[in-house]
Amino acid sequence: MRIAVCASEGAPYCKSGGLGDVMEALPAALSRIEGNEVILFLPYYSKVKRSSAYPCEKVAELRVRLGWRQQYAGIMRLTNRSDGVSVYFIDNEYYFGGRGASLYGDLDDGERFAFFSRACLDAMIALSFIPDVIQCNDWQTALIPTYLKAMYRGAFPQTRCMYTIHNIEYQGWAHADFFDEVLGLPWEYRGTLDMGGAVNMMKGAIETADLVTTVSETYARELMYPYYAHGLDGILAGYSWKLTGITNGIDTGVFNPETDPALPAHFNCESFVEGKAACKAALQEEVGLPVKPDVPLMVMVTRLAGHKGLDLLCYIARRLLWEEDAQLLILGTGEAQYEHFFRDLQNQFPEKCAAKITFNLGLAARIYAGGDIYLMPSKSEPCGLSQMNAMRYGTVPVVHATGGLKDTVPPADENGEGGLGFTFQSYNADDFLASLKRCLNLYNHNPEGFRALQRRDMEQDFSWNVPAGRYMELFRNMLSW
């Protein structure tokens, strides 16, 4: 099968969050399936352009139409990828070069990604790669199914399109004028993109894609409700027949405690007791906490954003650290109120709390490996990847039972049996504290039970093999229509 994957980020080249991780591992997993030919399209951000690690050659130059204008697009082929995925970057200095370090957040983001979406389709034509399936992701590539249906059928008579929602909070809203001035779509598609008098690119994709997926089964059900869907529940309920949830995997080659170069000691399911103890001591030392092997170390690696459930943690943090002989370590950056809170907490409890307000992938890996308990009380979570990273490194998750957290962390009982971690049902700080205390109890009073749970977490198969197979099933379904 010929598969084109289009996205606004993909690790290791450019990444701001989980989408970037998925765009590293999913195309690779699809290309390992026999008979598949996989192309990944990404923007040629200046960071990628300037990096000597990503040598590229120009294979085509195009003019992409946007409204009444034509914009240059250089098609750059990455020359050193060896796993079978062909990576092409779309070059345009005005849209992707010379901007700041962050990938998004410019006033003309709508236009930048409208350009990118159209350029992907034009690039496929220029490369004579007419795919069976196009898989596109989030608002930044949401215009692809609409352009495909409205203007590109001649070149792509049989191509099917899957649209995947990783984050429904960002939908690609624009002023109504954007439709004529930038998109240049035929007028009959005005209603497809219209939401309350403005343009909503994600809404258009839900209507025009052949299938819509999101990144866990539970989240697919949750999206039928206003609490989760940020205004799109009605539209999604109307198209519920085309919505499926496929729970992400993680790149088990990259996230591997036996080989991860960031770790001070390596381990597997057999040797994790000693291995993790060495990692924990080194981690406590690194972040300035007292080196205490028997005190439970609770950890969190996260963007400091509201929906990650930080208000619950802030509410219980002082009580928790007063009452428990335990350590708390947070790594992440984000909203100022949380950055201040955790810095204050560290000042107040220097022996028990360390707040590393920074972005550091190596330290993140050492935290997954050196922690005992991983906290993830997200208010909503389409899938979540770090709970899986944590389990793979033998760190027991305590999570809010929502979205992908519910699907990947079945609840264990107070003896640590029958599940993979500790969960709470309603988004409530006392319930979070209660589940965390169940976990601390197990750690403190039943070390064997805790170790059995850690081992079970490490033994899970979180690889992309199963989810990639499910994507293939849906691709084949679409092609049989």
First-residue to last-residue Cα distance in the chain: 16
454 binds ligand GLC (CB under 6 A): no
22 binds ligand GLC (CB under 6 A): yes
Virtual CA dihedral for 435, 438, 444, 445, nearest 10 degrees?
A: -170
CB nearer ligand GLC, residue 19 or residue 442: 19
d(CA 474, CA 263): 38
Give the one residue of 2, 12, 15, 17 binding ligand GLC; rule: CB under 6 A: 17
Give the one residue of 383, 398, 436, 439 binding ligand GLC; rule: CB under 6 A: 383
Q: Is 319 helix (H, G, I), strand (E, B) or coil?
A: helix
Q: Which of residues 139-168 bind ligand GLC (CB under 6 A)?
A: 166-167
49-58 own/partner pairs: CB under 8 Å, 24+ apart: 49/89, 49/91, 49/97, 51/13, 54/13, 54/78, 54/80, 55/79, 55/80, 56/89, 58/91
18 binds ligand GLC (CB under 6 A): yes
Which residue number has the CB closest to ligand GLC? 18
In sequence order, what are the beta bridge partners of 162? 135, 211
The beta-strand segments (E) located in 192-231 are 194-195, 198-200, 211-214
400 binds ligand GLC (CB under 6 A): no
Distances (CA, A) of 258 to 22, 179, 263, 265, 397: 22, 52, 9, 8, 20
Neighbour-count burial of 146, counting CB atoms closer than 10 A to its CB (0-12 exposed, 13-18 middle, 19+ buried): buried
CB nearer ligand GLC, residue 137 or residue 284: 137
128 with 2: CB under 8 angstroms?
A: no
CB nearer ligand GLC, residue 192 or residue 463: 463
- Residue 378 CB, shortest distance to ligand GLC, in Å, is 8
248 binds ligand GLC (CB under 6 A): yes
- Residue 166 CB, shortest distance to ligand GLC, in Å, is 3
What would you report as the CA-atom Rg of the chain, rounded to the nearest whole angstrom? 23
385 binds ligand GLC (CB under 6 A): yes
212 binds ligand GLC (CB under 6 A): no
CB nearer ligand GLC, residue 72 or residue 170: 170
- Residue 43 CB, shortest distance to ligand GLC, in Å, is 18
Give the one residue of 24, 210, 381, 407 binding ligand GLC; rule: CB under 6 A: 381
Q: Using CB under 6 A, which of the segments 2-10, 11-19, 228-236, 275-283 binds ligand GLC?
A: 11-19
Q: Site residues (CB under 6 A) for ligand GLC? A: 17-19, 22, 166-167, 215, 248, 381-385, 404
